[in-house]
């Protein structure tokens, strides 16, 4: 039997701070979407993996981060255009909401400042700083984060991720994201279940199955209700498959994708269906951390063995 995993890239302004022209409606929807998503998960008693940009867990900062090895200018927007927008840069209130929620959510990391780990300019030193800060800030909250979601799914510096004590990450989707993945019948009908595996660094890779908001624009506007919403249909098929077959249906999204009621309705339809299937079948709804517990090496002995194996391969 399989499971459903939902991972959430929670970032507020940090998801866009490096863009020349941040998409205003997404930027301004982050807090709204965060609260709606938390409420929906609560309503259907569904636990999720919340991968939070850990700068959001700070109360304040100097806007400079002079001791961070990122290139000059990386933190420019927070001390420039967003200097008077602490609501985009800090969110201890929203993080506390995750921790206080009834479902047993996992708090995971989405880096410290949304660095792109596959970018050639991101050195191992920068990667390490981003990973370590996530662990340190969580520790100040009395928490351990050991699942990681890469900004823009740009996977990189996995050796350093393992070295910093993480156990699991969201791997790239085996199928194309976005419009093609939904519109192309050959891809649409392929099973969207993924199979977590232990990689050469002893980390558990849990690939993404489906981006819940990969279907937007013109075709989205044709789909007027959840009854005709192709993402809801695809999510239902994935949940059905996970109820009968081995594998994980791994859905992911950002809080800022919930910009309007119809977005809330899409997530409500998916979560309601997941809760129904869970009640009637062997379907489990797990966090990434629970998947890592199930399929990964243990935290001590096996992990070292896997790391040693990886070192030998290198
Ligand atoms: Zn800062
Ligand atoms: Zn992100």
Mean pLDDT across the stretch 186-214? 87
Query: What percentage of residues in the chain have a pLDDT greater than 90?
Result: 81
Taking the centre of ligand 1 as the mean of its atom positions, its distance from the CA of residue 157, in whole angstroms, is: 23
Judge if pTM exceeds 0.85.
Answer: yes
Taking the centre of ligand 2 as the mean of its atom positions, its distance from the CA of residue 55, in whole angstroms, is: 13
Residue 202, pLDDT score: 97
The answer to whether 52 touches 112, Cβ cutoff 8 Å, is no
Taking the centre of ligand 2 as the mean of its atom positions, its distance from the CA of residue 28, in whole angstroms, is: 15
Which tens digits make up the pLDDT trace of 224-253? 677 778 899 999 999 999 999 999 999 999
Mean pLDDT across the stretch 83-107? 98
Alpha-carbon gap, residue 110 to 25, rounded angstroms: 21
Which tens digits make up the pLDDT trace of 114-136? 999 999 999 999 999 999 999 99
Taking the centre of ligand 2 as the mean of its atom positions, its distance from the CA of residue 15, in whole angstroms, is: 5
Taking the centre of ligand 1 as the mean of its atom positions, its distance from the CA of residue 59, in whole angstroms, is: 10
Alpha-carbon gap, residue 60 to 66, rounded angstroms: 15
Residue 218, pLDDT score: 55
Taking the centre of ligand 1 as the mean of its atom positions, its distance from the CA of residue 107, in whole angstroms, is: 20
Q: Which of 296, 311, 308 minimizes the C-alpha distance to 146?
A: 296
Taking the centre of ligand 2 as the mean of its atom positions, its distance from the CA of residue 72, in whole angstroms, is: 21
Taking the centre of ligand 1 as the mean of its atom positions, its distance from the CA of residue 46, in whole angstroms, is: 32
Residue 84, pLDDT score: 96
Taking the centre of ligand 1 as the mean of its atom positions, its distance from the CA of residue 64, in whole angstroms, is: 7
């Amino acid at each position: 039997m399989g499971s459903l995993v939902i991972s959430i890239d929670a970032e507020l302004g940090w998801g866009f701070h490096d863009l020349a022209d941040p998409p205003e409606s997404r930027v301004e929807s982050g807090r709204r979407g965060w609260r709606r998503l938390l409420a929906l998960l609560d309503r259907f008693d569904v636990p999720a993996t919340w991968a939070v940009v850990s700068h959001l867990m700070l109360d304040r900062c100097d806007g400079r981060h002079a001791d961070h090895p990122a290139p000059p200018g990386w933190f420019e927007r927070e001390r420039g255009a967003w200097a008077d927008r602490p609501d985009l840069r800090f969110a201890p209130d929203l993080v506390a909401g995750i921790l206080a929620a009834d479902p047993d959510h996992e708090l995971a990391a989405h880096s410290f400042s949304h660095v792109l780990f596959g970018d050639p300019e991101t050195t191992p030193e920068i990667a390490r700083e981003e990973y370590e800060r996530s662990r340190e800030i969580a520790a100040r909250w009395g928490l351990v984060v050991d699942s990681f979601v890469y900004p823009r799914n740009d996977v990189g510096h996995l050796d350093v991720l393992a070295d910093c004590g993480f156990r699991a990450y969201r791997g790239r989707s085996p199928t194309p994201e976005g419009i093609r993945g939904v519109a192309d019948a050959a891809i649409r009908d392929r099973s969207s279940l993924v199979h977590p595996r232990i990689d050469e660094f002893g980390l558990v890779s849990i690939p993404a199955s489906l981006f819940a908001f990969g279907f937007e624009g013109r075709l989205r506007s044709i789909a007027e209700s959840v009854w005709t919403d192709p993402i809801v249909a695809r999510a239902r098929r994935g949940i059905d498959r996970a109820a009968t077959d081995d594998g994980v249906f791994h859905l992911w999204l950002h809080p800022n994708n919930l910009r309007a009621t119809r977005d809330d309705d899409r997530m409500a339809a998916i979560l309601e269906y997941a809760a129904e299937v869970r009640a009637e079948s062997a379907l489990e709804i797990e966090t990434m951390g629970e998947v890592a517990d199930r399929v990964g090496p243990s935290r001590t002995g096996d992990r070292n063995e896997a790391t040693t194996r990886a070192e030998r391969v290198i």
